Amino acid sequence: MSSGAEVIELSSDDDDEPVPSTTALARRAPSSPPDVKPRLLADADVKPLLLHPPGYGALVPVKTEEPVPVPVATASPPPRALPPPRVCRQFWKSGDYVVARRNPDADAPGGRNRLRINPKFLHSNATSHKWAFGAIAELLDNAIDEVNNGATFVRVNKFTNPRDGNPSLLIQDDGGGMDPEALRRCMSFGFSDKQSDAFIGQYGNGFKTSTMRLGADVIVFTQNQNNGVPTRSIGLLSYTFLMETGCDDVLVPTVDYQYDLTTASYIQMLRHDQKLFSSNLRILLKWSPFASEAELLKQFDDMGEHGTKIIVFNLWFNDDGDMELDFNSDEKDILITGAHKKVKTNKLEKIATQNYISTRLRYSLRAYASILYLHVPDNFRIVLRGCDVEPHNIVNDLMYRECVLYKPQIAGLTESSVITTIGFVKGAPDIDVQGFNVYHKNRLISPFWKVANNSYGKGRGVVGILEANFIKPTHDKQDFEKSALYHRLEIRLKEMTYEYWGLHCHRVGYDNKSLSKATRALNRANHMNAGSSPISAPPRLLAANIPTSSCGIPRLSASAAREKINSLGSHSNSKMGLKRKFDSYAMTDNADYDGQNHTDGVDVSQRKQFSEYRTLTLENDKLHNECLQYEESEKQLVMKEQKLRSEIAEANKKYQELLKELGSLDVKEEKS
């Protein structure tokens, strides 16, 4: 086991457990059903798994035992209803926690000197997620990362708790799954196997914060074949269990199974002894939605050969006492209760604003998931309640698009280059939308981030998209760390908004005072004749856009294009009289600004050539970066192919050995 954060199994030979305090018993007695004993772990005579902080080693030496074929229970007794939870069901009020006893191993050698994690930390750690959809996004990130292990889908759906009939949240993928050790690391704090830049997750805390933010309890089913022998593992992280028993440490009951070739079935995998396995299993059956071992194992039936299934149950309520996640209003979506409040109006601009994705993503998981990733991996599906989530590319919503290359610098050193696409959203200025969608490693961090003050309408309708990998997101991936690079980016995006506004605001009906009086009068006349809404603008205005794709445009080398750009820039920069810094390689996708000479002394043909060469240069850089990414992907696929071929060779070798061994056996056929 890694020396990072460890999940340690401790067994005890003591038959008696410490009796909880009288106060604790009095607190729980009124709502305890008659068949529940007042003992803390409810028939569990052995401690379950312990979730310890990083750096803590094993306290009790444990010898490795070979798995013993133990038959799996097949009978399914009638489910026994759980006792009414005494945990407050409102998330922001459920942090009160009373410790009923000390941990039994506190008196063990070295027990007093080790660090423990109070179960209240599960709740306080989850408060980093202010938004339920942000917590769900963390679990989607884990599934996306499994693309490297062959994942082709992630499924998000409603799951009905068989004990009480209440809705739960199910998230399932067909990735590589986790072996017993990996599951324990997943449920530890601060441990992460994802050290490569290819992964979204990095901190090793997302699973705990996200699941505990959505509900009080989560059970994980995972199946894995990486080590040659298929394994199945089940783990329970339950705030309800910890609070009901008054534990002063985070206990995580976990059981494992492995495939047995002789019986062609899964048998109990005893990592230590049968007593510990039975203890963990009893806790799982009492505090999970499943009342028998057979019901637990049935959850693997739809998982294929590998994958992970997460069920979050005892979902939190909002401050009004309603379940925070709404499964009933839309059978194809999951909504946030109370967040979907449309104002009844006949004004088209308000209706357009309410229906646009910038508003819908606040309460609709389908809308949020559609823009959560800049590029969804090929052959990967996000399936929400039985229907695929169609990716929504915000770039396609923009008119009069322009691309700006931004090179952030700190102490004179260039960190990286970022291409920002900016434009007016279709429907502007009637639709009240503004801001930049900032991604980090393909993942949306800040949707419609308002960086500019749109007083007097300035900046209204201006939307941008960029991927900023040079700044770090916060642990909940809903914002960025407020570093110097972050503040420089904010300032540049604000400048970018005002620069774009000054160049294009007249195209959506605003009076651009930087233009000549004659041009302003002509623009007003055009909008009066065509209507104020840019959706009904004359076709010639929309047809003037040059597509950002390089198809149909003569190819030029990057060096030749830059040389031409520099010569044109030095000639025209003094004439334009604009604030825009052309050394940032600004590029617009409109050909000639509606065919009008909007700035005195500017040669229209030269501006057109300038825009075309800027387009070619940026497109060339973009294609070059894509080629590098494909080359890197090719290397990874080749390595994966070699690994698979090696595994196949090992499997064939083992198969031949088994055949040889079978042939050497003296098997006599019985005569009938």
Domains of the chain: 119-348 (3.30.565), 394-516 (3.30.230)
**pLDDT at res. 195:** 42
Residue 518: CA count within 13 A, CB half-sphere: 5
Cα 380 to Cα 144: distance, rounded to the nearest angstrom? 8
**pLDDT at res. 278:** 94
Per-residue pLDDT averaged across 13-33, rounded?
36
Cα 7 to Cα 112: distance, rounded to the nearest angstrom? 18
3-state class (DSSP) for residue 394: helix
Share of the chain above pLDDT 70, in %: 65
Q: Which residues neighbour 122 within 8 Å (Cβ) at sequence distance 6 or greater?
A: 208, 212, 237, 239, 242, 250
DSSP line for 151-218: --EEEEEEEE-TTT--EEEEEEE-S----HHHHHHHTSSS--S--STT-S--SS-HHHHHHHHHEEEE
623-650 residue pLDDT tens = 887 888 888 888 888 888 888 998 899 8
Cα 85 to Cα 352: distance, rounded to the nearest angstrom? 44
User: Are the CB atoms for 172 and 198 separated by under 8 Å?
Assistant: no
Number of C-beta neighbours around residue 140 at 10 A: 24
Record the tokens describing residue 96, joined without a space.
Answer: 């009160």
**pLDDT at res. 327:** 97
Amino acid at 357: I
DSSP bridge partners of 382: 154
φ, ψ of residue 483 in degrees (nearest 5): -90, 175
Nearest C-alpha neighbor of 474 from the set 466, 489, 486, 488? 486
Cα dihedral sign, 281-285-290-295: positive
Q: Which residues neighbour 279 within 8 Å (Cβ) at sequence distance 6 or greater?
A: 41, 44, 45, 46, 47, 48, 253
**pLDDT at res. 386:** 96
Residue 350 pLDDT greater than 50, yes or no: yes
Residue 571 pLDDT greater than 50, yes or no: no
Amino acid at 235: G
DSSP bridge partners of 201: none
Nearest C-alpha neighbor of 203 from the set 125, 123, 269, 279? 125
Per-residue pLDDT averaged across 71-79, rounded?
51
Number of C-beta neighbours around residue 478 at 10 A: 20
**pLDDT at res. 557:** 44
Nearest C-alpha neighbor of 216 from the set 112, 97, 114? 97
Cα 77 to Cα 42: distance, rounded to the nearest angstrom? 18
For the ranges 92-96, 258-262, 453-457, 600-604, the lowest mean pLDDT is seen at: 600-604
Record the tokens describing residue 82, joined without a space.
Answer: 């759980």
Cα 376 to Cα 650: distance, rounded to the nearest angstrom? 34
Cα 528 to Cα 544: distance, rounded to the nearest angstrom? 20
**pLDDT at res. 575:** 39
3-state class (DSSP) for residue 54: strand
**pLDDT at res. 668:** 58
Cα 542 to Cα 522: distance, rounded to the nearest angstrom? 17
User: Are the CB atoms for 92 and 34 separated by under 8 Å?
Assistant: no
Whole-prediction pTM value?
0.68
DSSP bridge partners of 182: none
**pLDDT at res. 457:** 75
193 vs 313, residue with greater confidence? 313
Query: Which residue has tokens 């998209």?
Result: 465
Cα 408 to Cα 248: distance, rounded to the nearest angstrom? 48
Q: Is 268 exposed, middle or buried (0-12, 13-18, 19+ CB in 10 A)?
A: buried
Cα 161 to Cα 240: distance, rounded to the nearest angstrom? 15
3-state class (DSSP) for residue 306: coil
Helices 558-576/604-664 angle, 10° precision = 140
**pLDDT at res. 451:** 93
φ, ψ of residue 596 in degrees (nearest 5): -105, 150
Cα dihedral sign, 407-409-413-415: negative
3-state class (DSSP) for residue 409: strand
Q: Where are the alpha helices (DSSP H) in 229-273?
A: 239-245
- Taking all residues of the chain, what is their mean pLDDT, rounded to a whole number? 75
For the ranges 325-334, 485-494, 622-631, the lowest mean pLDDT is seen at: 622-631
163-188 residue pLDDT tens = 999 999 999 999 999 999 999 988 87
